[in-house]
Amino acid sequence: MTIAVLRERAIGETRVAATPETVRKFAALGAGVVVEAGAGTAAGIADADFAAAGATLVESAAAAGADIVLGVQGPDPALLSGVAPGAWIVAGLDPFGQRPRIDDYATLGLEALAMEFMPRITRAQSMDILSSQANLAGYKAVLVAANLYGRAFPMMMTAAGTVTAAKAFIMGVGVAGLQAIATARRLGAQVSATDVRSATKEQILSLGAKPIFVEAVAGIEGEGAGGYATEMSPEYQTAQAELVSSHIAKQDIVITTALIPGRAAPRLISDAQIATMRPGSVIYDLAVAQGGNVEGSVADQVVERHGVKIVGYANTPALLPADASALFSRNLYNFLSAFWDKEQGRPVLDEEIGNAIRLTQGGQVVHERLKG
């Protein structure tokens, strides 16, 4: 059983899908790990560190002979020549955004496993790349916003006068939003937050922030299915827009994280609402890669509208490459090791998780969400 770790090719991708720690753990399971030279450089992991952990370093054709290819993002099919027949591709495959690539994996006879489709069940929590990366993204978004903000976050009483506390508003209180609330609070901001799922109210309060919720129209009861939101009714959207209009003009920092699985991100902030904010305010749109929560946000750019900076980094976890790689790599290891069959010396998936994440098999695209 050979596991290959390729150098990521996507622009701005700094992460790597294995660390010396997971290389050692795979070796303990009996797998050999081949790492492409330079794969860890941007994440602060030298080739020598991988070699010391027992990996074989290769300059090119790293996937040749591999039974499993690990990636942060899906590897270019051109890099996969010579992989073992039916080899697994285990990565964040962006199945809807990178459909042609998924079709190519099928044509090559590979089994593509999309880690972002991991079901939200207790036993898969340690394999959940969306959670591990969203947590870091929520943290980093606040730091980047704080850096671009021309004022301080905490209230400071100095001999020269008082600096007022920044007001931060977090929209979407999932994994990223919760970490954004905690981080903004630690920096000393006054924090408020909103979501469509009523269960988040308690969580917002427990972090010492103020819940700002639509009251006139019912939102999603409790957690929502699998912790996920759905598209809201036009009535709810109108009520939410009114709520945001009345609240946002007083905010200095806004972090938006709202996502709906399999759909474009909901639009939460309009250009007219941005115009009511104080110049110098900062908005960080963590949903920019899914279409954006904020009108005018542009992927991988900081744009200014009405004196407000709108940050749209599409790959925020890549701004923390070392930690993001460490957690991502553990997610992959936790996944493969949980299914490791000692006799066969390789992982064997069960139906529940296998069917949830398997995109291609036997030359076909087999996932329900990608068919038809």
Residue-wise DSSP of 78-93 = GGGTTPPTT-EEEEE-
Q: How far is the CB of 29 from ligand NAD (least distance, A)?
A: 24
Q: Which of 9, 21, 81, 125 binds ligand NAD (CB under 6 A)?
A: 125
Of 224-243, binders to ligand NAD (CB under 6 A) are 224, 227-229, 232
Residue 188 tokens, joined? 């000393």
Q: How far is the CB of 138 from ligand NAD (least distance, A)?
A: 9
Q: What is the pattern of x (binds ligand NAD, CB under 6 A) and - over residues 177-216?
A: x----------------xxxx--x----------------
How far is it, in rounded angstroms, from Cα 129 to Cα 195?
22
Could you tell me if 103 and 77 are in contact, meaning their C-beta atoms sit under 8 angstroms apart?
no
**Bridge partners, 360 (sequence order):** 365
How far is it, in rounded angstroms, from Cα 150 to Cα 177?
23
* 135 touches ligand NAD (CB under 6 A): no
Q: Which of 4, 244, 258, 282 binds ligand NAD (CB under 6 A)?
A: 258
Residue with Cβ nearer ligand NAD (226 or 362): 226
Tally: H helices and E strands in the chain:
10, 19
From the list 239, 244, 253, the residue with the least C-alpha distance to 271 is: 244
Q: Angle between the 20-29 and 321-338 helix axes, to the nearest 10 degrees? A: 10
* 120 touches ligand NAD (CB under 6 A): yes
SS3 246: helix
Residue with Cβ nearer ligand NAD (3 or 196): 196
Half-sphere exposure of 40 toward its Cβ, with a 13 Å CA cutoff? 27
Q: What is the pattern of x (binds ligand NAD, CB under 6 A) and - over residues 55-94?
A: ----------------------------------------
Q: How far is the CB of 75 from ligand NAD (least distance, A)?
A: 25
| Residues that bind ligand NAD in the complex, under the rule CB under 6 A | 120-121, 124-125, 128, 130-131, 134, 171-177, 194-197, 200, 224, 227-229, 232, 257-261, 266, 268
